[in-house]
Amino acid sequence: MLALKSASKVLLSIATTMLGLLVVTFVISRLLPVDPVLAIVGDHASESTIAAARTKLGLDHPIPVQFLLYIWNVFQGDLGVSLRTSQPILEDLAHVFPATLELATWGIVIGTVIGIPLGVWAAVAKDTVVDHLIRFVGLVGYSMPIFWLGIMALLIFYAKLDWLPGPGRLDFGYEDIITPVTGIMTIDTLIAGETDLFWNAVAHLILPAALLGYYSLAYISRMTRSLMLSQLRQEYVLTARVKGVPERRIIWKHAMGNILVPLITVVALSYGNLLEGSVLTETVFAWHGIGLYITDSIFGQDLPAVMGGTIVVGFVYIIINTLTDLAYRFLDPRAK
């Protein structure tokens, strides 16, 4: 009974947050100076053609009715049809989202594996040269425009040194060899048994994933340092040192155990930011994910596709936050 009640609260929270997202998305779409009807039929269409298109899109109804129809369609999984591709938007997003998932996942792995030890190191070596250097590296990654870093990375490692391949997920001519199964290129190449193509996909993944990893590393290391410093000032740390407990054990078992729960929130939020904020990175590296899809839709004045992409990214962000909250129950008994 208690588990059912908890599940109901979680579902209600997801539904409420999702409804808020739909309200914001709908209002913004109506405030934008873009007419989806003219985007379909063109500026020189007849009045009858414009009226027919407006009726087909449901824009002839009052705003409240339009909003109710919009919510009804979304909860049925109908995000509309893209004006640019003439395909159902949900199908388009299902086709491009695995690319973003692959890129963001490798980015957060890099950022977490490197960022957490750097943050701990900076906290332990507080106010030393090491601390200042780590904080400076994080500040650069957090403040520099990510599209500029991407362009510089391509100029140096692709155009100048020729160490890594250029934009795209595979070399030109290889993309048609692989039949998509999961949409994640590093997995699909292994499923197809194409080892050479797998390493080619990994090579294409290095630069954009490292760039996103550096971006998330900056935030994760800074937050890890702050959380660790607050624990190293606690009395239990002083007591453990007086008792002769090894410093490594104090840091990685006792202090890290106490910052693990908030640290999960930091990593989860960083992951969500990479999923929704990889637009510029995907554009620079011609990475055909949801970010590039939304960008192309904006330039093509494809408002339904932009709204659909925003809803999907927002939904994923909501799910990540919900799973993070649920993880607290297993990691921190006090959360129960």
Q: Which residue has the tokens 């449901």?
A: 58
Tokens at 236, concatenated: 């239990």
pLDDT value at position 4? 64
How much is the average pLDDT of 80-101?
87
273-305 residue pLDDT tens? 888 767 778 888 888 888 888 888 888 778 888
Query: What pTM was computed for the model?
Result: 0.83
* Average pLDDT over all residues of the chain: 83
Give the number of other Cβ atoms within 10 Å of residue 106's Cβ: 20
Contact between residue 165 and residue 201 where contact means Cβ atoms under 8 Å apart: no
pLDDT value at position 250? 86
Is 334's pLDDT higher than 70?
A: no
pLDDT value at position 244? 85
Reported residue count of the chain is 336
Is 14's pLDDT higher than 70?
A: yes
Is 52's pLDDT higher than 80?
A: no
Contact between residue 222 and residue 123 where contact means Cβ atoms under 8 Å apart: no
- pLDDT confidence bin for 39, thresholds 50/70/90: low
246-269 residue pLDDT tens? 888 888 888 888 888 889 888 988
pLDDT over 70, % of the chain = 90
Domains of the chain: 2-75 (no CATH), 89-335 (1.10.3720.10)
Is 312's pLDDT higher than 80?
A: yes
- pLDDT confidence bin for 43, thresholds 50/70/90: low
Tokens at 108, concatenated: 């957060």
Report CA-CA distances (Å) from 115 to 67, 209, 257, 264: 43, 14, 17, 13
pLDDT value at position 303? 81
Q: Which residue has the tokens 């090894």?
A: 246
SS3 (DSSP) at 81: strand
> Dihedral of the CA atoms 103, 107, 108, 113 (nearest 10)?
140
Is 128's pLDDT higher than 70?
A: yes
pLDDT over 90, % of the chain = 15
Sequence-ordered alpha helix ranges (H) in 154-289: 185-191, 195-232, 235-242, 247-249, 256-277, 279-284
185-230 residue pLDDT tens? 888 888 888 888 899 889 999 999 999 999 899 899 999 999 999 9
> Dihedral of the CA atoms 84, 90, 93, 95 (nearest 10)?
-100
Nearest Cα to Cα of residue 279 among 114, 32, 103, 20: 103
How much is the average pLDDT of 57-70?
78
Nearest Cα to Cα of residue 267 among 217, 334, 197: 217
- pLDDT confidence bin for 120, thresholds 50/70/90: very high
Contact between residue 224 and residue 140 where contact means Cβ atoms under 8 Å apart: no
What is the rounded distance in angstroms from the CA atom of residue 144 to the CA atom of residue 151? 12
What is the rounded distance in angstroms from the CA atom of residue 230 to the CA atom of residue 235? 11
Tokens at 215, concatenated: 């971006």
Q: Return the minimum-mean-pLDDT range out of 43-52, 90-99, 263-272.
A: 43-52
Is 6's pLDDT higher than 70?
A: no
